C-alpha cells in the first residue's frame, strides 16, 4: 500500500465514495514513477500529448507502458459485513474515459463482490464526494 495522497497532481485517479447502502471506498492511484530513473512521476507535458514523459531523465513512454505501471490503493468498508479493509495491486484502468466501473474487487472477509464507480458530474456535486481524473 502506498502513502495517502498529499498532492493531487501526483495522482492519475482518485475517488471517495459511498458503496450503497452504507459502505465506503477511498481509491487512489499514483502516476507511476519512471521505471528507468525512478526520480519523477511520468506525466503528459500537455493534456493533448500522446506520450508520457519523465521530467528527470527526459525519457518518454507510450500510453501502454504507462498503463502497465499503474497501481491502485483502496481503503474500503464493506456494506454487507462492515469489514474495513485495504487493498493494493496492479490496476487495469478502463480504456474509455466514460467507463463506469473503475475497479471490481471482493470483500476479503465475506467475499461480497464490490465495485468502485466513476461518478457522474451531477451526482458528484450532490454527494459532496471528491473525484478527479487527471
Ligand atoms: Zn526517468
Ligand atoms: Zn464483507
Instruction: Please check whether residues 19 and 61 belong to one and the same domain.
Output: no
CA of 33 relative to ligand 1 center, distance in Å: 8
Question: Over pLDDT 70: what percentage of the chain?
Answer: 90
Return the pLDDT at 97.
Answer: 87
pLDDT averaged over every residue in the chain: 92
Instruction: Please check whether residues 41 and 105 belong to one and the same domain.
Output: no
Size (the chain), residues: 134
Q: Which residues of 101-127 are buried (b: 16+ CB within 10 A; e: fewer)?
A: ebbebebeeeebebebbbbeeeebeee
Instruction: Please check whether residues 63 and 79 belong to one and the same domain.
Output: no
- pLDDT, tens only, 38-71: 999 999 999 899 999 999 999 999 999 999 999 9
CA of 98 relative to ligand 2 center, distance in Å: 28
CA of 105 relative to ligand 1 center, distance in Å: 32
CA of 20 relative to ligand 2 center, distance in Å: 13
Instruction: Please check whether residues 75 and 87 belong to one and the same domain.
Output: yes
Cα separation, 37 vs 83, in Å, equals 39
Instruction: Please check whether residues 93 and 42 belong to one and the same domain.
Output: no
Q: How many domains does the chain have?
A: 2
Q: Which of 23, 47, 69 is the last residue of a domain?
A: 69
Instruction: Please check whether residues 28 and 85 belong to one and the same domain.
Output: yes
- pLDDT, tens only, 92-118: 999 998 899 999 999 999 999 999 999
Contacts of 5 (CB under 8 A, 6+ apart): 11, 14, 28, 30
The reported pTM is: 0.87
User: Does residue 133 lie in a domain region?
Assistant: no
User: Does residue 1 lie in a domain region?
Assistant: no
Least confident span in 23-27, 89-93, 118-122: 118-122
Instruction: Please check whether residues 79 and 60 belong to one and the same domain.
Output: no
Question: Which domain, by its residues, includes 92?
Answer: 7-32+71-123
Q: Considering just the CA atoms, what is the radius of gyration of the chain in Å?
A: 16
94 vs 8, 21, 31, 33, 100, CA distance in Å?
20, 25, 15, 20, 9
Which ligand does the CA of 82 lie closest to? Answer: 2
CA of 41 relative to ligand 1 center, distance in Å: 8
Amino acid at each position: 500500500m502506498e502513502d495517502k495522497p498529499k498532492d493531487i497532481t501526483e495522482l492519475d485517479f482518485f475517488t471517495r465514495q459511498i458503496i450503497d447502502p452504507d459502505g465506503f471506498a477511498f481509491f487512489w492511484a499514483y502516476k507511476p514513477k519512471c521505471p528507468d530513473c525512478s526520480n519523477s512521476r511520468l506525466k503528459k507535458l500537455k493534456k493533448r500529448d500522446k506520450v508520457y514523459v519523465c521530467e528527470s531523465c527526459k525519457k518518454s513512454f507510450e500510453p501502454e507502458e504507462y498503463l502497465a505501471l499503474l497501481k491502485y490503493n483502496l481503503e474500503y468498508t464493506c456494506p454487507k459485513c462492515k469489514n474495513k479493509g485495504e487493498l493494493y495491486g496492479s490496476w487495469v484502468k478502463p480504456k474509455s474515459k466514460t467507463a463506469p466501473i473503475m475497479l471490481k474487487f471482493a470483500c476479503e472477509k465475506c467475499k461480497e463482490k464490490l465495485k468502485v464507480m466513476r461518478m457522474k458530474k451531477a451526482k458528484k456535486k450532490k454527494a459532496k464526494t471528491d473525484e478527479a481524473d487527471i
